[in-house]
Chain A
Amino acid sequence: METKTERISTWAAYLVVGVGALIMLTPFYFMFVFATHSRTEIFSLPPPIFFGDSFMDNLNILTQRMPFWRNLGWSLYVAVASTALTLLFCAMGGYAFAMFDFKYKKALFGVVMATLLLPSFMNMIPTFMIMDVLGWIDQPRALYIPGAASAFGIFLMRQFVTASIPKDLIEAARMDGCGELGVFWRIVLPLLKPALGTLGLITFIASWNNFIGPLIVMRSPEMYTLPLALRSLQSPVDTEWGALMAGSAIATLPLLVLFVISSKQLISGLTTGAVK
């Protein structure tokens, strides 16, 4: 029983939302198109609109100008290490905050949550100095070890444990003679799987995209992660745009794949706090 005006407004909604979505995706399309063209092709009139055949040439330039595969490897290594550590430490911490009573628990949790709102630039300078004193400049651990102290991870895990792991279940396992570590490892962790998946995705992506962190602690080009390496190729006079686009496309592709596989989980995870 739709009236005529309702039908028109529905179609108007389709049009606005659809055109908007296309506009949002257009830059990605050009990133991949430009990745397959040389610099002169990108900056010609009219510019390329379809895929070309210079991707391998661009890749060659990229690997000549910087240790590209090494940089890619460091990005992957840091992202994996950071995800593994964050998942373990935040699952343990979130479980403790949700299921146990201990001294100063409330105050501690309050402090952890307060840092969630803390602007990231606050830690930029002291973090550099700490890493300098520790001798961690140019060390990947300077990126993944501090990253494991994720306030957001603790928040997410505590939320999930409170909502979906019944206290009785833990009690029953204890009665059956299961030790505390066993309870955590055999009962809590398996039940946490969905939340671990979400936190894992978010951590991996954040680490993969992280720019300020490596900008501060990674000084030599062999230790650069991908974003840092890409930005080092930018120069005022002689930027190899084709190669740069190929590198950017390679940096973006894994995220696109992850997003297509898990967009629902990712979106709901990234907007938790808001929706609850």
Chain B
Amino acid sequence: MNLLSSLRLSPKWAPYVFVSPFLLLFLIFGVFPLAFSLYLAFQSWEPTSGLSAMHYVGFENYSFALQDEWFWKSLKNTAWLALVSGVPQHVVAIPLAYFIHSSFSRLRNGVVGAYFLPYITSTVAISILFSSLFSTDFGLINLGLRVLHEIPGLGWLLPAQAIDWLNDPDHIKPAISLIVFWRYVGFNVVLYLAALQTIPKDIYEAATMDGAGRLQQFFYITLPSLKPMIFFGVTLSVIGGMQLFEEPFILTGGRGGSDQAGMTTAIYLYRMAFDFNDFGAASAMSWLLFVVVGALTWLTNRAFRPRDASH
């Protein structure tokens, strides 16, 4: 501690000293890459020919991206996956959180932990595990479906044939969505639990006195009070869903799947840079995707904002 005392630092300079290590790294690895990527999006460059071979091409990368069939396809895939994995997360998480909130006390932490656990585990390990569970002939998921198919009355709902989840373009997206749903539903449960704890108990008591049943209370008290959290949760799902990369990357062996059915935009721009060596187009695509994410976030905001400000 003698060293500390001998290094006198005046209060005037102290904040700059404290903030500078972070700030330096933040500028180099957080801000500069962004600016550089903006610049790169207007350049034509191949990494093999060295940095000096870069030249300005105007909006060529953008017009290339906008005319690229695969780019549009990847956007559609991403939106599909975000929707199909995202909406059920909230539809399931809200009632689950409500049940946990109203009926669990002692076991609560354990139960919440079980739902939350997938969120903190390695996406790679999880995706590898699921690619074995999804395998056609011996995967547990097809096996389970076959068992369910034998049940009379339920069988007609389910396919008789084993599904080639990972290679059939029609089935790769549901497979990815299932993993994403499984991974993030618990995160949303925790969000909604936190919001439920802020609803005052006496509102429910008053409603009970007035003869409102549990279902009515849920629809007339709980759901409206959760609206701000639903907005926040859906925004996170949109932002997260639109940058989906790891699960489909592992599941499709890094290539996007047959007929590019599992190729998200994030995967495509990775491939554009590192498989096809077009860094300019990849940067332009990343900015286009950024605009899409921004627009979707704005739309979500519009959808959840109260119509009447004075209300």
For A247-273 the 0/1 string (1 means CB < 8 A from B) is 011011001100100011011001100
For A105-122 the 0/1 string (1 means CB < 8 A from B) is 100100110010111111
Of the candidates B128, B137, B245, the one whose C-beta lies within 8 Å of that of A43 is B137
Task: Evaluate contact between A121 and B269: CB separation under 8 angstroms.
Answer: yes
Task: Evaluate contact between A230 and B22: CB separation under 8 angstroms.
Answer: no
Complex Cα distance, B229 from A10, in Å, reads 25
Task: Evaluate contact between A255 and B18: CB separation under 8 angstroms.
Answer: no
The segment from B62-70, B82-90, B151-159, B282-290 that touches chain A is B282-290
Complex Cα distance, B6 from A182, in Å, reads 10
Task: Evaluate contact between B25 and A42: CB separation under 8 angstroms.
Answer: no
Task: Evaluate contact between B18 and A119: CB separation under 8 angstroms.
Answer: no
Write out the residue numbers on chain B whose beta carbons fall within 8 Å of the beta carbon of A175: none
Tell me if B96 is interfacial: C-beta within 8 Å of chain A.
Answer: yes
Given known contacts A17-B111, A122-B290, A145-B25, A205 and B120 CB-to-CB distance under 8 angstroms: yes
Task: Evaluate contact between A212 and B34: CB separation under 8 angstroms.
Answer: no
Tell me if A163 is interfacial: C-beta within 8 Å of chain B.
Answer: no
Task: Evaluate contact between B286 and A230: CB separation under 8 angstroms.
Answer: no
The segment from B184-192, B199-207, B219-227, B298-306 that touches chain A is B184-192
Tell me if A89 is interfacial: C-beta within 8 Å of chain B.
Answer: yes
Write out the residue numbers on chain B whose beta carbons fall within 8 Å of the beta carbon of A95: 18
Q: Across the two chains, which residue of chain B brings its CB closest to A230?
A: B124
Task: Evaluate contact between B29 and A127: CB separation under 8 angstroms.
Answer: yes
Write out the residue numbers on chain B whose beta carbons fall within 8 Å of the beta carbon of A127: 29, 33
- Chain A: residues with Cβ within 8 Å of the partner, total of 103
Task: Evaluate contact between A149 and B99: CB separation under 8 angstroms.
Answer: no
Of the candidates B113, B120, B130, B286, the one whose C-beta lies within 8 Å of that of A121 is B286
Interface residues of B in 1-38 (CB under 8 A from A): 1, 4-5, 7-11, 14-19, 21-23, 25-26, 28-34, 36-37
Task: Evaluate contact between A271 and B194: CB separation under 8 angstroms.
Answer: yes
Interface residues of B in 22-63 (CB under 8 A from A): 22-23, 25-26, 28-34, 36-37, 40, 47, 51
- Most-contacted residue by chain A among B116, B121, B130, B131 (CB, 10 A): B121
Task: Evaluate contact between B34 and A21: CB separation under 8 angstroms.
Answer: no
Of the candidates A28, A89, A111, A182, the one whose C-beta lies within 8 Å of that of B21 is A89
Task: Evaluate contact between A248 and B51: CB separation under 8 angstroms.
Answer: no
Complex Cα distance, B273 from A97, in Å, reads 37
Task: Evaluate contact between A17 and B103: CB separation under 8 angstroms.
Answer: yes
Task: Evaluate contact between B120 and A92: CB separation under 8 angstroms.
Answer: no
A8 to chain B, nearest CB (A): 10
Q: Across the two chains, which residue of chain B brings its CB closest to A117?
A: B239
Tell me if B266 is interfacial: C-beta within 8 Å of chain A.
Answer: yes
Write out the residue numbers on chain B whose beta carbons fall within 8 Å of the beta carbon of A259: 113, 117, 120
Complex Cα distance, B120 from A252, in Å, reads 10
Q: Give 20 A-B pairs besides A130-B28, A230-B124, A234-B253 with Cβ atoms closer than 8 angstroms.
A: A6-B214, A10-B103, A16-B99, A21-B114, A24-B115, A27-B182, A34-B129, A42-B138, A108-B19, A121-B289, A130-B29, A132-B47, A145-B29, A149-B22, A149-B29, A180-B11, A209-B121, A271-B190, A274-B194, A274-B232
